[in-house]
């Protein structure tokens, strides 16, 4: 499938998995909108890296839970590159705590970004992605592990999976695939924050490959779904080295 003249929006792409996805899709030939919510310098670094490698990219600040800001981002993508073919929603936050101890304001924050943000981005994508395009959301493999402390985060990602599976069916007739990628433990700032070396080593051994995933591992899966997939649709793909 040719990516010539095609455009991708990648939310949360100033760092981590989103950054790796933006750079990989640019390498694949997509023009890329690098979305960020706060760190403009990091987003510009991603744009610079893409341009240095010969790709096309712009940065756009938008809170994914703000429908006005997200609509403006889609407007900017269409104005700059002529249309939208792929949307990857990787923006998300994670707060870990036992259910009995979790602050409800942290639960609300995760619901706002992870659930409302996914819904808002997917709503614009459903309206604007061109026929033959792709929508990819990010979930987590931790749901199947039932690890204490992850209840609120896993619950928010369960909602992400439901949104994707239903949207795939609502887009019948437009040849747009909608899938969710569920990474296992991946070496990003989001995952590593607050964990000691012993816990990280323990989680790395949960899969038979006996290592953490890398952002590039996940970007490889999304690259396929965005540019070479025409038949996998409405699915949750577990990218975790065989953890489940």
The string of pLDDT tens digits covering residues 40-87 is 999 999 999 999 999 999 999 999 999 999 999 999 999 999 999 999
Whether the Cβ atoms of residue 232 and residue 225 lie closer than 8 Å to each other: yes
Residue 24's nearest CA partner among 240, 206, 218, 209 is: 218
Within a domain: 190: no
Helix, coil or strand: residue 100: coil
The per-residue pLDDT for range 9-29, each reduced to its tens digit, is 999 999 999 999 999 999 999
The model's pTM is 0.95
What's the pLDDT band for 191 if we cut at 50, 70, 90? Answer: confident
Considering the domain boundaries, does residue 71 fall inside one?
A: yes
Catalytic residue among 36, 150, 153, 238: 153
CA dihedral 93, 94, 99, 100 (to 10 degrees): -90
In a domain, 90, yes or no: yes
Domain count, the chain: 1
Active site residue 150: no
Domain encompassing residue 220: 7-185+214-238
Predicted pLDDT at 1: 65
Please report, for the domain that includes residue 158, its CATH number.
3.40.50.720
Is residue 47 one of the residues assigned to a domain? Answer: yes
Residue 170 has pLDDT above 70, yes or no: yes
pLDDT computed for residue 30 by the predictor = 98
SS3 192: helix
């Amino acid at each position: 499938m040719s990516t010539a003249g095609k455009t991708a929006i990648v939310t949360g792409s100033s760092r981590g998995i989103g950054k790796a996805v933006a750079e990989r899709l640019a390498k694949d030939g997509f023009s890329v909108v690098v979305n960020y919510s706060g760190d403009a310098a990091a987003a510009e670094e991603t744009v610079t890296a893409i341009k240095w490698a010969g790709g096309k990219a712009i940065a756009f600040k938008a809170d994914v839970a703000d429908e006005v800001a997200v609509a403006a981002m889609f407007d900017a993508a269409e104005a700059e590159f002529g249309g939208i073919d792929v949307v990857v929603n990787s923006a998300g936050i994670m707060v870990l705590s036992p259910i009995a101890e979790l602050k409800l304001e942290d639960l609300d924050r995760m619901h706002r970004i992870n659930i409302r943000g996914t819904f808002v981005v997917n709503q614009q994508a459903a309206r604007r992605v061109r026929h033959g395009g792709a929508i990819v959301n990010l979930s987590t493999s931790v749901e199947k592990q039932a690890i204490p402390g992850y209840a609120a985060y896993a619950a928010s990602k369960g909602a992400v999976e439901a949104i994707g599976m239903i949207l795939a069916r609502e887009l019948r007739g437009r040849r747009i695939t909608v899938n969710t990628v569920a990474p296992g433990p991946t070496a990003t700032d989001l995952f590593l924050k607050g964990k000691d070396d012993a816990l990280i080593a323990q989680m790395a051994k949960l899969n038979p490959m006996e290592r953490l995933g890398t952002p590039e591992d996940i970007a490889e899966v999304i690259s396929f779904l965005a540019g070479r997939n025409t038949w996998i649709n409405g699915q949750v793909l577990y990218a975790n080295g065989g953890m489940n």
